[in-house]
Amino acid sequence: MMSRPAFWVHLLAALFLAPSHSSRAAVLPLVLNTWSGDFTGATHTAFDVLSQPGPAGDRLNALEKGLNYCELHQCGGSVGFGGHPDATGEVTLDAMIMDAVTHDVGGVGGLRRVKRAISVARGVLEHTNHSIVVGDAATRFAVEFLGMEEETLSTPESEKAFEVWEEGGCQPNYYRGFVNCTTACPPYQLSDNDKEEKMKKPGTGISSSSSGRSSIKRQARFSPHVHEGNHDTIGMVVIDAQGDLACGVTTNGLGNKVPGRVGDSPLPGSGCYVENDVGGCACTGDGDVMLRFAPSAHAVMFMEGGASPTEAAERMIRKVAAFYPGYRGGMVCVNKRGEYGAAGYNFGLSFSVKGAGMQEVETFDVTPLGGVRKGGRKEKEEEKEESVARID
98: closest CA among 226, 251, 329, 282?
282
Residues 6+ apart with CB under 8 A from 11: none
Instruction: Tell me what pLDDT residue 388 has.
Output: 32
pLDDT of residue 5: 45
Q: Which of 45, 233, 250, 310 is catalytic?
A: 233
CA dihedral 137, 142, 145, 150 (to 10 degrees): -100
233 is annotated as an active-site residue: yes
Global pTM?
0.85
Tens-binned pLDDT, residue by residue, of the chain (392 aa): 445 444 343 333 333 344 445 788 889 999 999 999 999 999 999 999 999 998 888 999 999 999 999 999 999 887 999 988 999 999 999 999 999 999 999 999 999 999 999 999 999 999 999 999 999 999 999 999 999 999 999 999 999 999 999 999 999 999 999 999 999 999 999 987 776 666 666 655 444 444 444 545 556 676 666 656 555 689 999 999 999 999 999 999 889 999 999 999 999 999 999 999 999 999 999 999 999 999 999 999 999 999 999 999 999 999 999 999 989 999 999 999 999 999 999 988 999 999 998 999 999 999 999 866 544 444 444 444 443 333 33
Q: Please name the amino acid found at residue 10.
A: H
Residues in the chain, overall count: 392
Contacting residues for 55 by C-beta, under 8 A, at least 6 apart? 61
> 283 pairs with which residues across the strands?
331
| pLDDT at residue 219, as a whole number | 60
How far apart are alpha carbons 306 and 77 in whole angstroms? 37
E strands, the chain, are: 24-25, 27-34, 92-99, 104-112, 132-134, 233-239, 245-251, 272-275, 279-285, 329-335, 339-345, 350-356, 362-365
Q: How many helices (H) and strands (E) does the chain have?
A: 11, 13
| 366 CB burial (10 A radius; 0-12, 13-18, 19+) | buried
What integer pLDDT is reported at residue 213 of this predicted model? 47
Helix (H, G, I), strand (E, B) or coil at 43: helix
pLDDT for 377 equals 44
- The predicted pLDDT at position 193 comes to 75
Integer CA distances (angstroms), 141 to 96, 134, 136, 137, 176, in order: 15, 10, 9, 6, 34
Sign of the CA dihedral running 177, 263, 17, 3: negative
